Amino acid sequence: MRRLAALGSLLLALGLLASLPAWIGNSYYVNIASQVLLYAVFALGLNVIVGYAGLVSLGHAGLFGIAAYSGAILITAGYGHFVAIAGALVVTLGVAALFAVLALRGTGLGFVMITVALGQIVWGVAYRWISLTNGDNGVSITSRPAPFGLSLVDANPFYWATLVVFLVAVAAIAIFVASPFGASLRGTRDQPRRMNALGYNVWLIRFLAFLFSGLWSGVAGLLFLYYNQFVSPQTVALTASAEVLLMVISGGTATLLGPIAGALLVVIMKNVASGYIERWNFVLGAIFVAIVIFMPEGLVPGSLRLWRWATRRRRQHPAGPAAMAPVPHGSINGGAQ
């Protein structure tokens, strides 16, 4: 019965997403939806390393930007979209491997600082290597790809293409997390020494997870490139890395829906709410503070906790003891030591 309900709500969500251009009313909102989906792919990719591996990266905009820049440069050089996409993903994976080798020398704060430095190097290259990247004037591309002869120039086809990529990303990451490899990755997060003693190669597991995370960041970077048809150093700046990390943390790390909710929150606040509230930065900050205070584990797990608490209390009323009050669970460093 519960499985049926879950299947039903999944189908309903899919139907709503697929028919979005029909009910949302205006191509502007369709474009916003495309942005939510592409940032959701980025946040889902980052969540692999932040949520499931417990390694906080502040350099993922570098990988996102490498993919966008590689794609843009290949297209400008006259290559087709297929070559550009494949080339960009190969370059991104290569750079991700390099990042991982350097950054995985540390964990915790050390890992954060190395990823910051690596991200800044990418930014420096984008900004300074003017003959390659055109400096802060950026690279623009004039066309979007047309897979199977379907043009993606208009808002609706582009949205559907982004939706397909998004669904593939969600499915791939869900399978990845549920797999034995995903379990061992969570093991390296919670008990790295015990995992090591059990014979797991902790470094290799983290390395592969970083590559997987980098791959989806790269895919999101390509979606960004095709969406904006423009890429400039701001795309790879530290603030961009921080923004996507905020999406993951505010939505809920180590959950599948959390990064999606975080992307939805940030994109809507930045683009839609900013049209109505002049101090939208302040409102976004206030929302983050509220999340930290009331749902430190993130929007999705936090809402679930409150929901469970509310329904259980209703069922047990009036005997509901104080012990039923919501207690946040740590997520990144969860598990007894």
Phi-psi region of 134 (alpha: psi -120 to 50; beta: other; left: phi over 0): left
Cα distance between residue 230 and residue 30, in whole Å: 19
- 20, 21, 33, 35: residue in contact with another protein (rule CB under 8 A): 35
- 235, 250, 255, 331: residue in contact with another protein (rule CB under 8 A): 235
Nearer to another protein (CB atom), residue 32 or residue 261: 32
Nearer to another protein (CB atom), residue 26 or residue 316: 26
Least distance CB 30 / another protein (angstroms): 9
Least distance CB 52 / another protein (angstroms): 28
CA nearest to 185, candidates 219, 211, 165:
211
Least distance CB 238 / another protein (angstroms): 12
- 29, 79, 181, 203: residue in contact with another protein (rule CB under 8 A): 29
217 binds another protein (CB under 8 A): no
| Tokens representing residue 221 in the block | 């970077």
The interface mask with another protein, positions 184-213, x = CB under 8 A, is ------------------------------
234 binds another protein (CB under 8 A): yes
40 binds another protein (CB under 8 A): no
What is the size of the binding site for another protein (CB under 8 A)?
Answer: 30
311 binds another protein (CB under 8 A): no
| Tokens representing residue 230 in the block | 């423009």
Under rule CB under 8 A, which residues in 132-171 are in contact with another protein? 135-138, 140, 142, 155
281 binds another protein (CB under 8 A): yes
Strands (E), the chain: 139-140, 230-231
Residue 296 backbone phi and psi in degrees, to 5: -60, -20
Beta-ladder partners of 139: 231
Cα distance from N-terminal residue to C-terminal residue, the chain: 37
73 binds another protein (CB under 8 A): no
Residue type, 77: A
- 271, 283, 304, 334: residue in contact with another protein (rule CB under 8 A): 271
Residue 250 backbone phi and psi in degrees, to 5: -70, -35
122 binds another protein (CB under 8 A): no
Q: In this structure, how many other beta carbons lie within 10 angstroms of the beta carbon of residue 120? A: 17
Alpha-carbon distance values, 298 to 223, 229, 276, 282, 328 (Å): 26, 33, 26, 19, 10
Nearer to another protein (CB atom), residue 118 or residue 225: 225
Asked if 68 and 217 touch (Cβ cutoff 8 Å), the reply is no
Cα distance between residue 57 and residue 116, in whole Å: 7
Longest dimension (CA), the chain: 72
Please give the residue ranges that form the binding site for another protein (CB under 8 A).
Answer: 26-29, 31-32, 35, 130, 135-138, 140, 142, 155, 224, 228-230, 232, 234-235, 270-271, 274-275, 278-281
